[in-house]
């Protein structure tokens, strides 16, 4: 069958591959090339070597600031989302009435788009801050915690579902054995449940990690980077470099390449970690 | 024997947390009925006789951002992109898995590679190419979505196709089916559960996507996220009432979709969590 199938490349694979080439392969290769050039319209690209890359770090501190803000935001979100989602999952696996309704409610915010989420929380956070005579753009720390709260609201339900699936698949005999051996609830949680849930914890940590690291829409709508550029995350900084100032498209593209390398490294670490876990089991 | 007995403390706690989760949407809903100058300062107050404006915010908002045309564009682009993605990537995934050679291997790795590339890496060049190739319209953007969405979709279809026993296809071949007949009559029906998952993941992504449609078609055609962002306008000039009502109108379709196929959505999103 393989041999006959091979002749059908044009039918089965060509349409997808053509769209993939237009939407991904060509833009990606051009993107890498353009990061080494100065351009405004692509056709006027002029080779400048690594100067865009050095400009990122020498001309302004925007990128470093955005990177630092993104890292802090990512660490706080990953920890808070996973801890809260895990606690909720524990509560919802205690055979409570109406578990399904609770699950439905907690998961709902995950479906709402980033732009809409940003404006919902802008209203609420500004509504609280106005009592103190300020708004979210007054100080970077308001924007920071605003983003953290927004991200928690959006992602807790999603991670909770993954943890619930993990908890429900725990081997009952092991938990039974722990109880017979006289372990109390905290000992069972720390010594049995959490170690057995490591695969779920890895998935959720990386999911929240990449989602927080690549965040754009929520950042764009909630603070837009204000005050100044203090709450600007990496994706928004790249966007503003491209479209905020003419003549800086090459620098923007170079930032995008660095951003891509960060994301690729995270994905690589995740792959290695999940692979090694699979071997153990 | 364990009995199902609800712990009242945990139950109350869960009710409180649920209220916290719903509150933001309810607050926006309440404010969507208040006059635009009474929203920013006192968002947590219920409308009074003085501040209640009936549906004025809704009629204003719908006019200002042409909500129904935005809804139509969002729906059109989402439905046809998802159908296109399902149709084309399921075929390609089957071909890649069943026809093992260097070319199909390379293709597979290229598709998987595209999943980890952030949109910012290609946003500028992609929107230029879309412009040059005249794909900057609601029909053309479907091609872009099929191309950009193919990585995850092919990855998920391939994972499932690997588990389908070859015997079925071999039997079909012996019975005289050519590969096209084999795929559409035998394989496609088996792929249905995966197709639902892939469809839901892509639908949620495309419906909520802001930056890609903004850069490719945003000047002429506004989808819902673009229209909502457009309402923001310049500083000081924005109509909070219209914003509130449009936030509500953009959430309603999502909630209807969610409540009508909740099981599939939750299952699909969890299955898609491999994307990373």
* Per-residue model confidence as pLDDT tens digits over A33-79: 999 999 888 888 889 989 999 999 998 889 999 999 999 999 999 99
Among A4, A8, A21, A24, pick the best mutation site for testing chain B contact (most B Cβ within 10 A).
A24
Q: Answer whether A5 sits within 8 Å of B27, measured CB to CB.
A: no
Q: Is A246 on the interface with B (CB under 8 A)?
A: no
CB B209 within 8 A of CB B56: no
Distance CA A218, CA A148 (A): 10
- Beta carbons of B40 and A42 less than 8 Å apart: no
Tokens read off for B179 = 């590969």
In chain B, which residue's Cα lies nearest the Cα of A116?
B247
State pLDDT tens for residues A192-241.
889 999 988 998 999 999 999 999 999 999 999 888 889 999 999 999 99
Chain A residues closer than 8 Å to B89 by CB: 16
What number of CA atoms fall less than 13 Å from residue B265's CA on the CB side?
Answer: 21
Contacts of A107 in chain B (CB under 8 A): 266
Distance, in Å, from the CA atom of A233 to the CA atom of B274, rounded to the nearest integer, reads 24
pTM given for the model: 0.91
Does pLDDT of B84 surpass 90?
yes
* Cα A136 to Cα A147: distance, rounded to the nearest angstrom: 10
- Of chain A, the percentage scoring pLDDT greater than 70 comes to 98
Q: Which residues contact B140 (CB under 8 A, 6 or more apart)?
A: B130, B133, B134, B216, B217
Query: Residue for token digits 């930056």?
Result: B211
Given this model, what pLDDT does residue A278 score? 56
> Which residue is listed with tokens 């003549």?
A247
CB–CB contact B7 A94 (8 Å) = yes
Chain A hits for B67, CB-CB cut-off 8 Å, are none
* DSSP code at position A42: S
Name the residue among A129, A148, A26, A128 with its Cα closest to residue A80: A148
**Who has greater pLDDT, B272 or A204?**
A204
Reported in sequence order, the residue ranges of chain A that DSSP labels E, i.e. its strands, are 37-38, 46-47
Residue of chain A whose alpha carbon sits nearest to that of B184: A12
Check if the beta carbon of residue B91 is closer than 8 Å to that of residue A12.
yes
Q: Which of B103, B146, B247 sits opposite A119 (nearest CB)?
A: B247
* Dist. CA B161–CA A231, nearest whole Å: 44
DSSP count for chain B of H helices, then E strands: 14, 0
Average pLDDT over residues B157-163: 91
Q: For residue B269, what is the enclosing H or E element?
A: helix B262-271
More confidently predicted of B7 and B245: B245
Would you place residue A281 in the very low, low, confident or very high pLDDT band (cuts 50, 70, 90)? very low
Residues 46-85, chain A, touching B (beta carbon < 8 A): none
**Mean pLDDT within A127-143:** 90
**Complex confidence, ipTM:** 0.90
User: Residues for chain A: how many in total?
Assistant: 281
């Amino acid at each position: 069958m393989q041999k006959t199938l091979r002749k059908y490349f044009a039918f089965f694979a060509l349409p997808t591959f053509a769209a993939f080439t237009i939407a991904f392969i060509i833009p990606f290769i051009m993107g890498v090339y353009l990061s080494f050039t100065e351009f405004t319209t692509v056709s006027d690209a002029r080779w400048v070597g690594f100067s865009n890359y050095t400009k990122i770090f020498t001309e302004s501190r925007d990128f470093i600031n955005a990177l630092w803000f993104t890292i802090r935001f990512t660490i706080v979100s990953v920890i808070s989302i996973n801890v809260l989602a895990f606690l909720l999952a524990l509560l919802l696996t205690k055979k409570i009435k109406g578990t399904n309704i609770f699950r439905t409610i907690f998961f709902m915010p995950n479906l709402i788009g980033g732009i809409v989420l940003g404006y919902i929380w802008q209203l609420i956070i500004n509504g609280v801050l106005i009592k103190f005579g300020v708004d979210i753009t007054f100080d970077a720390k308001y924007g920071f915690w605003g983003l953290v709260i927004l991200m928690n609201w959006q992602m807790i339900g999603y991670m909770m579902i993954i943890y619930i699936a993990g908890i429900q698949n725990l081997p009952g005999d092991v938990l039974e054995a722990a109880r017979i051996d006289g372990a109390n609830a905290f000992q069972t949680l720390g010594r049995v449940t959490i170690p057995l849930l490591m695969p779920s914890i890895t998935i959720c940590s990386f999911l929240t990690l990449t989602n927080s690291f690549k965040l754009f829409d929520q950042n764009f709508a909630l603070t837009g980077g204000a005050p100044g550029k203090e709450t600007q995350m990496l994706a928004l900084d790249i966007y503003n470099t491209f479209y905020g100032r003419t003549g800086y498209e090459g620098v923007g593209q170079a930032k995008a390449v660095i951003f891509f390398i960060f994301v690729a490294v995270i994905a690589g670490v995740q792959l290695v970690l999940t692979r090694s876990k699979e071997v153990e089991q | 024997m364990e009995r199902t007995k609800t712990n009242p403390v945990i139950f109350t706690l869960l009710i409180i947390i649920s209220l916290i989760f719903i509150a933001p949407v309810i607050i926006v809903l309440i404010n969507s009925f208040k006059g635009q100058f009474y929203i920013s300062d006192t968002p947590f107050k219920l409308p009074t006789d003085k501040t209640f404006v009936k549906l004025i915010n809704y009629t204003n908002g719908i006019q200002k951002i042409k909500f129904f045309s935005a809804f139509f564009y969002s729906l059109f682009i989402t439905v046809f992109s998802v159908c296109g993605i399902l149709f084309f990537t399921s075929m390609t995934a089957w071909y890649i898995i069943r026809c093992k050679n260097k070319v199909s291997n390379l293709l597979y790795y290229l598709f998987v590679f595209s999943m980890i590339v952030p949109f910012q890496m290609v946003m500028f060049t992609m929107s230029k190419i879309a412009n040059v190739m005249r794909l900057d319209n609601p029909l053309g953007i479907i091609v872009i979505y099929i191309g950009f969405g193919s990585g995850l979709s092919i990855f998920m279809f391939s994972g499932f196709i690997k588990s389908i026993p070859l015997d079925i296809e071999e039997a079909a071949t012996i019975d005289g089916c050519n590969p096209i007949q084999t795929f559409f009559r035998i394989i496609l029906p088996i792929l249905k559960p995966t197709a639902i998952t892939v469809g839901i993941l892509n639908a949620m992504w495309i419906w909520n996507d802001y930056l890609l449609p903004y850069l490719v078609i945003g000047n002429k055609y506004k989808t819902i996220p673009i229209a909502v962002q457009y309402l923001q306008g310049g500083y000081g000039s924005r109509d909070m009432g219209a914003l509130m009502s449009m936030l509500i109108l953009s959430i309603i379709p999502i909630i209807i979709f969610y409540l009508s196929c909740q099981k599939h959505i939750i299952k699909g999103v969890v299955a898609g969590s491999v994307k990373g």
